[in-house]
Amino acid sequence: MQRIRLRYTKRGRLRFTSHRDFQRAFERALRRAEVPMAYSAGFTPHPKVSYANAAPTGTGSEAEYLEIALTQHRDPETLRVLLDESLPAGLDVVEAVEARTSGLADRLTASVWELRLDGVDPAEAERAVAAFNAAGTVEVQRLTKNGMRTFDARPAVVSLATSTSPETQSAQADRPGDQPCAILRLVVRHVTPAVRPDDVLSGLRAVADLAPPVPVAVTRLAQGLLDEETGTVTDPLAPDREAAQALTTAAPAAAATASAPEGSA
């Protein structure tokens, strides 16, 4: 059985697709691309697809991950192209690697988010960010299936800062360009309960009375293992690429050793 790990995006209007909607679209894409999927056992077999930490509905993302299990070997890049062509524009498969290490989900410990606040002056946003960073606790409320829950959002936030320009083409870029616009960059740990960008926005409202006049455009730029020393988020597929490269490098050396005459130095 071969395992392939994929990175895909949610762009433009497709940010409004729910995780269940994406699952259905992806399973249709698997059938269209004639991917030789492995299936679970039991009375209702399902294709073996493992989804990891999907972004909330309504947010864009450049870094969503999943893993599929195949019954036949396939070239990862060829498979990526076939799946990308079988999905609607906006749900784009941008990277594929063969899984050569374990624990992909364990390497998704933090996310980097971009928040576009249309109608908010950058100076006002900078003041609010400073107040948030200076706060020891930032209590926010979220409605859950068990009722309203209050929790401290501050410990999960590794960094929060204003940015001079967006890193992505925001989903709200069609708004009038003559309005003020603040861009925030957020790095947050994946903790329980999960602290989402909406919770940080609620915290900014609580500590600094920052209330954007229109909905905030939120995009996940990256997710992966958090480097505690630098506060950066590393690429979760890097270990698989490195393992594949090491195997490619070692193969010619092993072949040369095997073909060397007996007794040769």
Per domain, the residue ranges of the chain are 2-106, 109-233
Distances in Å between the alpha carbon of 145 and those of 142, 148, 153, 225? Answer: 10, 8, 19, 30
The answer to whether the 2-106 and 109-233 domains have the same CATH topology is: yes
Residues 94-111 pLDDT 10s: 999 999 998 899 999 999
Evaluate whether 112 touches 187 at the Cβ level (below 8 Å). yes
Single out the residue of 63, 13, 23, 59 nearest to residue 196, CA to CA: 59
Q: What is the mean pLDDT of residues 124-152?
A: 93
Q: What is the mean pLDDT of residues 73-101?
A: 96
3-state secondary structure of 263: coil
Q: CATH code for 2-106? A: 3.30.70.580
Residues 45-74 pLDDT 10s: 999 999 999 999 999 999 999 999 999 999
Q: What is the mean pLDDT of residues 246-265?
A: 63
User: For position 219, what pLDDT does the model report?
Assistant: 97
User: For position 61, what pLDDT does the model report?
Assistant: 97
User: For position 145, what pLDDT does the model report?
Assistant: 80
Three-state secondary structure along 171-232? CCCCCCCCCCEEEEEEEEECCCCCCCHHHHHHHHHHHHCCCCCCCCEEEEEEEECEECCCCE
CATH class of 109-233: alpha beta
User: For position 244, what pLDDT does the model report?
Assistant: 87
User: For position 154, what pLDDT does the model report?
Assistant: 97
Quick check: 265 pLDDT over 60? no
Dig out the tokens for 64 from the structure. Answer: 């969503």
Evaluate whether 170 touches 132 at the Cβ level (below 8 Å). no
> For a pLDDT cut of 90, what percent of the chain falls above it?
78
User: For position 22, what pLDDT does the model report?
Assistant: 96
Q: How confident is the model at residue 171 (pLDDT cuts 50, 70, 90)?
A: very low
